[in-house]
Amino acid sequence: MNLRRLNEKGMMRFVEFLDSLIGEKPMPYPTELLTDPEATEEIIPCNEIEHHSFGSRYAAAKYLYKVFKDSGLTNIEHDRGLWAWLALFYFDELCPPGARGRCKPGELARWIPETGVSWRYYRHLLAGPYRIYAAHSDNPERAMLVLCGSLHQPGDIVEQIASRQELVTNDGLMEAASTLYFDASSSKPKRGAATKEGKGTVRRFIDILNQFDVTWDLYSLQAGDMVQMLPDEFSRFRSTTAA
């Protein structure tokens, strides 16, 4: 199918559909909205987009990055209508039915990106991972910690790190975070990394970096230096890294 974008009317219909999912009478998936000329716009130059089952934020970001890289399209990251259309297109994977067979779409920013002032763009289920992948396109594996999760459940670690542009765009920091907390054998964060309280967790990592930030320019530090500078409470994650 050719890539399109939802216009304001299309986004309103999409919101109406999403709102209905938590109400008494859930609407059926609006297939026709993807191509409705009243609700969508053609994107020029034309780009083909295919249905996939991605399985992870990383796989989706990789595919979309490949699609957009040589697409001739500009200002993709700020194109709300495009990302809203993509979220609708990949709706099945982004909103799988829960235990009672109903989809829970969650907050609107997951479907239609919030741009501008607060940089809540990262909450969009597709634009979020895409932007992280694009920021680390020379070596996306360094951002694996925030790309390894499923598309529909990004998780607390993503919220902690990706919510701050200053952290998520920092090469050394992202590599250090993935080195410490990403378990390559399971393709998941290490056990205990996302715990809200406790020693050496991702939250503590960010706290400690805020302290380093007073003395060091975090952008200038290499991942290895950063990991070495961390206090003993991180040894649990450091040692599993070395092993």
Partner 1 sequence: MPVRTLNYTNRKRIRREDARISIREEKYGSVFDAGLNLAAYDLPSDAHLFVEAYRQTQYKRYYFGLVGAIRIPEDRSLVDFDSAEGVLFRVKVVTSADPHGLLLAEADQIRPRKSTDTDENRIPLLPVVPDQNMGDEIWRLEFDDQQTLLKVNSGLGDWRALVRDPVFLALVFPTVFRTILWRILFQEKHHDTEDSDDWRSLWLRFAISLPGIIEPPSENDEMHFEDWIDTAASSFCRRHSIRTTYERYWTGAQEQ
Q: How far is the CB of 60 from partner 1 (least distance, A)?
A: 23
Q: Which of 54, 36, 134 is nearest to 91 (CA)?
A: 54
Give the whole-angstrom CA distance, residue 4 versus residue 36: 10
Judge contact between 194 and 156, C-beta under 8 A.
Answer: yes
Instruction: Give CA 139 to chain center in angstroms.
Output: 16
Helix, strand, or coil here: 182? Answer: strand
113: left (phi over 0), alpha (psi -120 to 50) or beta: beta
CA distances to 17, 40, 104, 105, 186 from 100, in Å: 19, 32, 10, 14, 28
Q: How far is the CB of 186 from partner 1 (least distance, A)?
A: 30
Q: Which 115-134 residues touch partner 1, going by CB under 8 A?
A: 115-120
220 touching partner 1, by CB under 8 A: yes
222: which 2 tokens?
A: 């290499």
Q: How far is the CB of 127 from partner 1 (least distance, A)?
A: 13
Q: How far is the CB of 114 from partner 1 (least distance, A)?
A: 4
Three-state secondary structure of 153-173? CCCHHHHHHHCCHHHHCCHHH
Q: How far is the CB of 180 from partner 1 (least distance, A)?
A: 19
Please say which residue, 116 or 231, places its beta carbon nearer to partner 1: 116
224 touching partner 1, by CB under 8 A: no
241 touching partner 1, by CB under 8 A: no
Q: How far is the CB of 188 from partner 1 (least distance, A)?
A: 26
Site track for partner 1 across 54-73, x = CB under 8 A: --------------------
138 touching partner 1, by CB under 8 A: no
Judge contact between 126 and 155, C-beta under 8 A.
Answer: no
Query: Which of residues 21, 34, 49, 109 is near partner 1 by CB under 8 A?
Result: 109
243 touching partner 1, by CB under 8 A: no
Site track for partner 1 across 167-196, x = CB under 8 A: --x---------------------------
- Bridging pattern class, strands 188-189 and 182-183: antiparallel
174: which 2 tokens?
A: 């992202």
Q: How far is the CB of 148 from partner 1 (least distance, A)?
A: 22
Please say which residue, 34 or 206, places its beta carbon nearer to partner 1: 206
Residue 48 DSSP label: B
CA distances to 118, 166, 177 from 173, in Å: 22, 10, 6
214 touching partner 1, by CB under 8 A: yes
The residue range among 33-41, 93-101, 107-115, 230-238 that interacts with partner 1, by the rule CB under 8 A, is 107-115
The contact set with partner 1 (CB under 8 A) reads: 109, 114-120, 163-166, 169, 211, 214-222, 225
